[in-house]
Each structure stands twice: as C-alpha cells, then as structure tokens.
Amino acid sequence: MTSNNFSSPQKTSVKKPLLHTLQGHEVWPPPIWLMRQAGRYLPEFRAMRAKADFLTRCMTPDIAVELTVQPIRRYKMDGAILFSDILILPWVMGQSLAFVEGKGPVLEPIRSEADLKLLDKNRVLEATRPVQQTLSILAKELPDVTTLIGFAGSPFTVACYMVEGGGSRDFAQTRKMMLQNTPLFQKIIDLLVTTTAQMLSAQIRAGAQTVMLFDSWGGLLPPQEFRQFVIEPTRQIVEFLRAEHPSVPVIGFPRLGGVMAVEYAEKTGVNTLALDTVTDPTKIASMVPSKLALQGNLDPMILLNGGDALVKEATRIRDSLRGRPHVFNLGHGVMQQTPPENVALLVDSVRNV
C-alpha cells in the first residue's frame, strides 16, 4: 500500500471538526467531505482500479484502505468515507452480484418467498469481516483530525436493487411487489433493517466514528409509502444504533424526498440530514431544529464545470447556513469527468474565510 503522507487541513478549535459538527455544534468554516470523493475522477484511483475488479477492491483491506485515503491525502478532507458499496450486504447474504461495465450492478432478482429463503442473514458479520478490517486499519492510519465514516444503503434502496435485479429509472418491479405482495416486500425490508443495523454496529466497533444511511430511491414513493418503507425502517436502525453506540452520530440521506425530508428528520432520529441537489438548504433549515446538522448540497455539475461559478455557489451555500451545524458536501456524488483541480478549488473556497 502507498505510504500515507498526510498534512493537517486548516486549523480549527476542535480536534475533529466533522465529528463535532455531526454532534450538533457549529464549526466555522464548516467541515467538508464529498460523496464519491474516492472515485474515477482521480488518476490514482484509476491506477488502482486496473489491478482488481470492484468487489475484490471492496473486500481487500489494503486496497480499500488505499482508495479511502486517496482524497484525504490529496485534499485533506475532514471526513474519510469507507470505500465499499451498498450492495455488499445482499451479496454476503447469498444474492448473486456482478458489476458490469456500462451497465452497473446485476443481481439475481428476489421475486418470491423461495428466493428470499435462499438468503442467510447469519452470514453478515463474518462475511463482512474484511470491511471491518479495513475500518480498523483506517482508524489507526488516518490523521487525528479526520472523522472515519461508515455507511450502508437504507432498506428501501437496497430492496430496490434486490427485487429489480439491478439499476432502473423507476424500479417498476420493486414497486409492483410493494403494492401487489406487500407482505413479501415487508419481509425483505425487515430482513434489511436487522442486517443493516448489525452491519453498521460492526463498522462502529471496528472504528467508524459516524455512519451514513443512503436512501437514493426513497423519492420514488408517495408520502404514505415513504413513511412505511423509508422513515420507519430508518427509525428502527437508528434506534438500534443509539442503544448500542449512544455517542455515534447517524447521517441520513433521503434523496429526492422533498418536503418529506423534514418528517424524515423529525421521526427517524438521525443527527444529520443530508440534502440533495434540488433542496433549498435555507428553507429546510427554517423547518428543522437548530441543532440538527445539515449536510450538502452543491450541485455536482457545478463542481464539474469549476471556475468562478463554483467559488460563488460554494460560498453562497456555506454562508447561507452559518450559525448552525453544517457539513459542506455535494447534493449527490462527484461526477466521473470532474477535474481533480476543481475539487481542490472547492475545498479552498469553503475553507477560505
């Protein structure tokens, strides 16, 4: 593995600016990390990508550690998010999974009780031990100022891929099962609540100092179904984690949840609400408690384009949320074609006060 050559980011009055913010305190300037900050826009990532397939990279601690620390080494981000994938969970339970170039994840779909019974929830902790090893190494090697972030997909979003058999624009098969065979769909959700909570708890025991739940597809649902399959499962996971690890903050990302994001923040118990690109952060800020941290929400396309427009928009978002806990981030992940120098410009802009 490449030797770690870190230097500290801009000094702040707290040891871990990101963790302090997630715990409900304002830090100025706000801490910054980016979704998909380890990715194909970095030449050093592409060099590692050529050495092993995606699942091997996720499940080989030395490789996963290197990919996690690359953006920390380059940009001194305040948070290092584990290099992994939300579909590791169904895969370790026994669902087939392959990542196909140009197509994305491909799974053998779960469409019946018999399909569901083939999955083994008891394999999760042992089968994800390499991920836990990655976190243990990172906890020792990262700079003291950097917060280590674990994560999982939220039950509804993971269920979308499990039922559909891959990615989709509308996840029609998933929503069809949700409406026509609600008991089966609820069993899938319940399985994912239990296993996601266990997996995240193991990540925390291994060294993660905060965890994030990604609900990328919850915005497909109308309000009542959103409450049933997004808010309630997330609440159960947060409740479990709070009992096991009361001091560890949880970040929730109900992408495209619209006004339901406010109810999500209120009822799930998350410490931080991550905002998607289409959300007006100042309006959301007026609708949620002042101690609830907000994360986001620069448009990744603005980051890709760079220049003065990037500096202006980053500064606007940063300044609009001054006075409350705020983690600067994107409203979605870094785009593959983003010039690395634009990310450096963004980090400098956020920290330049």
Annotated binding site for substrate: 36-40, 85, 161, 216, 332
pLDDT higher than 50, residue 244: yes
CA dihedral angle for residue 327, residue 277, residue 212, residue 33, rounded to 10 degrees:
-40
> Is the pLDDT at 9 greater than 80, yes or no?
no
Question: What is the percentage of the chain residues whose pLDDT exceeds 70?
Answer: 96
> Which of 135, 13, 18, 3 is closest to 77 using CA atoms?
18
Instruction: Specify the pLDDT at position 3.
Output: 52
Global model pTM greater than 0.85:
yes
Domain membership of residue 5 (yes or no) is no
> Residue 281 in contact with residue 320, Cβ under 8 Å?
yes
- Say if 3 falls within a structural domain: no
Q: How many residues would you count in the chain?
A: 353
Rounded average pLDDT over 43-47:
96
Residue 1 lies in a domain: no
Q: What is the model's pLDDT at position 103?
A: 87
Q: Is 99 among the domain residues?
A: yes
DSSP string, 208-223: -SEEEEEETTGGGS-H
| Residue 7 pLDDT exceeds 90 | no
Domain that holds residue 134: 18-351
Number of domains in the chain: 1
CA distance 81 to 2: 18
Other residues' Cβ atoms within 10 Å of the Cβ of residue 70: 22
pLDDT (tens digit, 9 = 90+) per residue, 325-352? 999 999 999 999 999 999 999 999 999 9
Does residue 54 register a pLDDT over 50?
yes
Q: Which of 74, 23, 67 is nearest to 341 (CA)?
A: 74
Examine the pLDDT at 272 and tell me if it is beyond 90. yes
Contact, 264 vs 273, CB < 8 A? yes
Is residue 128's pLDDT more than 60? Answer: yes
Q: Which residues are catalytic?
A: 36, 40, 49, 85, 161
Asked if residue 217 is part of any domain, the answer here is yes
What DSSP string runs through 102-169?
TTEEEE----SHHHHHT--GGGHHHHTHHHHHHHHHHHHHS-TTPEEEEEEE-HHHHHHHHHHSB--S
Q: Is the pLDDT of residue 74 over 70?
A: yes
Give residue 12's pLDDT. 52
Q: What is the pLDDT of residue 4?
A: 67
pLDDT exceeds 60 at position 168: yes
Place of tokens 């979003």: 157
Closest Cα partner for 137 from 57, 53, 69?
A: 69
* pLDDT score at 101: 84
Query: What mean pLDDT comes out for the span 88-104?
Result: 94
**What is the Cβ-side half-sphere exposure of residue 309, based on CA atoms within 13 angstroms?**
9
Helix (H, G, I), strand (E, B) or coil at 298: strand
Per the CB < 8 A criterion, the answer to whether 310 and 302 are in contact is yes
**DSSP secondary structure code for residue 3 in this structure:** P
Confidence of residue 288 (pLDDT cuts 50, 70, 90): very high
What is the average pLDDT across 163-189? 97
Say what the pLDDT of residue 335 is. 98
Q: What end-to-end distance do the CA atoms of the chain give, in Å?
A: 36
Q: Which residues are annotated as a binding site?
A: 36-40, 85, 161, 216, 332
Read off the tokens for 343. 């990310």
192, part of any domain: yes
Whether the CA torsion 122, 125, 126, 128 is positive or negative: it is positive
Residue 157 has pLDDT above 90, yes or no: yes
Residue 17 has pLDDT above 90, yes or no: yes
For residue 221, the number of C-alpha atoms closer than 13 Å in the C-beta half-sphere is 26
The fraction of the chain above a pLDDT of 90, given in percent, is 94
Using DSSP, state whether 23 is helix, strand or coil: coil
Question: Is residue 237 scored above 70 in pLDDT?
Answer: yes
Domain CATH code at residue 141: 3.20.20.210
Asked, for residue 13, whether it belongs to a domain, the answer is no
Q: Does the residue 6 lie in any domain?
A: no
Residue 111 has pLDDT above 50, yes or no: yes
